[in-house]
Structures are given as C-alpha cells and as structure tokens.
Amino acid sequence: MKLLEVTNVRAIMLAAQEKMLPETQSKMREMVPGISQEFLDEWSKRMMAPEMIEEYASVVAPVYEKHFTNEEVLELIQGTQDKNDGKTPTLSDALKAKFAKGYIDIQSEIMGACAQLGSKRGAEIAEQLGKEHPEWIKEAAATGTPGAKK
C-alpha cells in the first residue's frame, strides 16, 4: 500500500474515473433512453466517492504483489520516493529489467481488474439507484438493468 501512496495511484484512479464518466453516461443513455440526468449525476457521484476510489486502489496492490517480491517493492518505493523528492532514482539493473519486461502484463492486469470492478460496482449502484428513485427512469430498458454495461 505504501507503493500505491508514493505513486499517487488514488489520484490517478480518480482522474481516470473522471475521464471515463462522459462516455459511460452516454452509453447508459443509449441503453436506457428514459434515464434522467438526476440518475446519471447521482450514479457518477457515487462512482467518484472516496470509498470507490479506494476500492480501485485496492485491486492494484495484489498485481504488484504477484509480480514483485517484498524486497523489490521496497526498492520501487524508495526509487519512487527519490523521484518525488527530485533525486535521481536508483533501481538495480535486475529490477529495471524485470519491470521493463513485465510492464505490459502489469498494466493489463491492473486495467482488467479496474474494469471488472467498475462494471460490477457500476451495475450495483445503478440497481440501488433504480430502487431508491424509480422516477429517474421513465421507461424500462430493453437491454436490462441500467448501468449493467459500461
């Protein structure tokens, strides 16, 4: 979790979520033409809540744990802290090579885990909102639960 802190992963996740909201809202409008702006606004608010961003961050840590030993993670933390402090980061050649070799796999796993979490939580939030505010959905969706697909 310290690596996530020094790499500022929560801010990165928040920015990514903000960037995706307009497209996701557009897809939701296509799936449910009668969906109200109130529904979309509240859904977006809940998807951007600090606890959601924390959930996204929590799926990142296991990916790094899978690919790196504890010692390597500590080295990555120190290198990142050095970089954040304006110092030249020093990583061992072995770790640089391992990171370079596994970077695409690591990023793919992180993106996959985040997409899976986003789909699941987005659908749950949409279902919850539909129960709380049925008036925000003016007609039933032919394709299923609003927000079930992102």
Asked whether residue 28 is domain-assigned, the answer is: yes
The whole-number pLDDT of residue 139 equals 62
Whole-Å CA distances, 46 to 36, 85, 141: 16, 34, 21
- Read off the pLDDT of residues 58-84 as tens digits, 9 standing for 90 and up: 999 999 999 999 999 999 999 999 999
Asked whether residue 147 is domain-assigned, the answer is: no
Q: Residue 53 is part of which domain span?
A: 2-136
The whole-number pLDDT of residue 51 equals 94
Asked whether residue 144 is domain-assigned, the answer is: no
Number of domains in the chain: 1
- Read off the pLDDT of residues 104-126 as tens digits, 9 standing for 90 and up: 999 999 999 999 999 999 999 99
pTM of the model: 0.79
Asked whether residue 143 is domain-assigned, the answer is: no
Asked whether residue 15 is domain-assigned, the answer is: yes
Per-residue pLDDT, averaged over 22-40, amounts to: 94
Residue 12 in tokens: 């990165």
pLDDT above 60: residue 43 = yes
Residue 125 in tokens: 């939030």
